[in-house]
Amino acid sequence: MSKKVRKPAPTIASAPAKPATATPPFRIKYPLLWLVAIIFILYAGTIHYDFTDLDDGIFIKDMQAYNAQLSHLFTSFHRGVFNAVNDEYYRPMLLNSMILNYAFSGIEIQGYHLFNILLHIAGTGLLYMVFRALSVSSFHSFLLCLLFAVHPALSQAVIWIPGRNDSLLGLFVFGYLWATIRYTQTGNWKFLIGVFLLLAASFFTKESAIAAPLSALLIQVFILKEKLFSRRQLIQYGIWMLSGGLYFALRATASIKGGVLHVADIITGLPGRIPIMLQYLGKIIFPFNLSVFPIQEDTVYYWGFAALLTIAVLIFLTKEKKWNWYLAGIGIFLAFLLPLLILPKNLNEQTFEHRLYLPIVGILLLLSQTILFDKSSSDKKSGIIVAIVAAVFAFINLQHQPHFKDALSFWEQGHKTSPHSAYATMMYGARVEDKQEGFRLMRKAYQLNPDEKYLNYYYGVMLQHQDSLLASEAHFLREKKKSGYYECDFYLAKVAFYKKDFQQAAVYLEDYVKADKTNEAANNNLLLLYMTALKDKSKAQAQINRMSENGITVSNKVRQEVANMPHE
């Protein structure tokens, strides 16, 4: 008989232990929509701001006739910015943005402010895409772009109408960086179309776009680990040369001045301007000393040293240091500042904050790999820290915005923050209500720089308001020789009329109405000169015809008086 084998009792196996997993990354729904809403809410109050009288009136009011013609979208590639034939600056895309803006807004400045806000929204969205393309998490990309969106040092690029040149450049450069990153990653030739078009658009926006290919190279080599002479890199080098060649070919056909920069000026001026980098770095990390019209002499350095120390501490506290990102970030920051550093002080002494629109991206790239955002710091902790910083930035931004609301507010703050600027002192003095205070400020501006552009014009105007017509003449003639400012002719005509030199008065007014065809006072004064002092019927009739063509009403009584004038 066989022995019965007892089977072991069945047991219930316990479920295998799940491996420990890292905390899932925090996500925010619709990050781009949040950024759009934040920017619009932050800047909505600036839509109704008035002119600052720093170039915005030139682009919107003085260039109204140019902006009204859509055909000038092509003309812009063959002329200078402020003057069609006598200008150092070549920026077609800025001019074209004004033409497109005019098509929707006319000369109502509200439409131009809205356009600037939309540019900032679009640029922030594209910057988010750049961070995502570099494998920065969606939440961290949102946080970095939040700092960019509300940063008070960038408010000048959004609120001041001409500041759009940098946000417009940012739009094209961010799009270009995204396209070049995606091509380097995928090799898809379709991205090359974007690389070419967006880089070319960047060149035609502002000269500092020359740093865009260098920034792309830093990202490709240090962050994406692309070989310097790989096939994809060589193709992109070719596109850089093609885009640059197109830019220089069209620029050569433009009626602008050449030879603005001289090697000697660059070499002698560069050492003194290098410290500007420290000032700019300070305004990125600690934006507490903002100015609508900053100059190097009146900008402190201690915030820059504090910013350097802060960045060094953040890197030191980071466990997994990514030096390749740090080098790329620092390189991008320096690359976009270099064009400013090589400008001689006598050509451009202002250190405008809107120029930080692109350099700040290098610092954000660096910060993205510090303890603020690395794996050792939870997303919740990062979010809280960045939210606090962004709230402080937004508060400073809101406090700074009213300085742009009108010309008086603008130049009052400009003079206050840059007391050694002859230009800011002059512009504030010309607008202050107390005329005695205004005259005092004009004398101070003269002490700072007697050759400051437009200073002799404003000084002459003040003299005329004090009934010193003869004394004003020398100042207007000096200004006209220096800058060719057409407004001088109107006041010189008054001097000539006072001296009973009616022929010369007519010459001044003729020159004036060529520049400002629709000025009623100048046109009526010129007609009156032809009718009474000069008794020139033919010129009087021709003047009536020009006034009618330009929409200036001439009464029937005046027409009849001219018709009854005897022939010479």
pLDDT 10s digits, 375-406:
766 888 899 999 999 999 999 999 999 999 99
For residue 295, report the phi and psi dihedrals to the nearest 5 degrees: -130, 155
| 261 pLDDT tier (thresholds 50, 70, 90) | low
C-alpha distance from residue 422 to each of 53, 235, 451 (Å): 16, 49, 9
Each domain of the chain, given as residue ranges in start order, spans 31-404
pLDDT 10s digits, 74-117:
999 999 998 888 788 899 999 999 999 999 999 999 999 999 99
Torsion, Cα of 148, 153, 158, 161 (10° steps): -150
pLDDT 10s digits, 208-232:
999 999 999 999 999 999 999 999 9
pLDDT 10s digits, 150-189:
999 999 999 999 999 999 999 999 999 999 999 999 999 9
Q: ∠213-214-220 over CA atoms, to 5°?
A: 85
Q: For the purposes of burial, counting CB atoms within 10 Å of the CB of 189, is it exposed (0-12), middle (13-18) or buried (19 or more)?
A: exposed
Section 121-130 average pLDDT: 98
Q: How far apart are alpha carbons 124 and 146 in whole angstroms?
A: 8
Helix (H, G, I), strand (E, B) or coil at 182: helix
Quote the distance between the C-alpha of residue 166 and its chain's center: 4
Q: How far apart are alpha carbons 481 and 454 in whole angstroms?
A: 11
Q: Is residue 199 within 8 Å of residue 240, measured between CB atoms?
A: yes
Q: Is residue 133 within 8 Å of residue 181, measured between CB atoms?
A: yes
Q: What is the per-residue pLDDT for 1?
A: 41
Q: Give the ranges where 134-261 is alpha helix by DSSP (H).
A: 138-150, 155-159, 164-186, 190-203, 211-218, 231-253
Predicted structure pTM score: 0.87
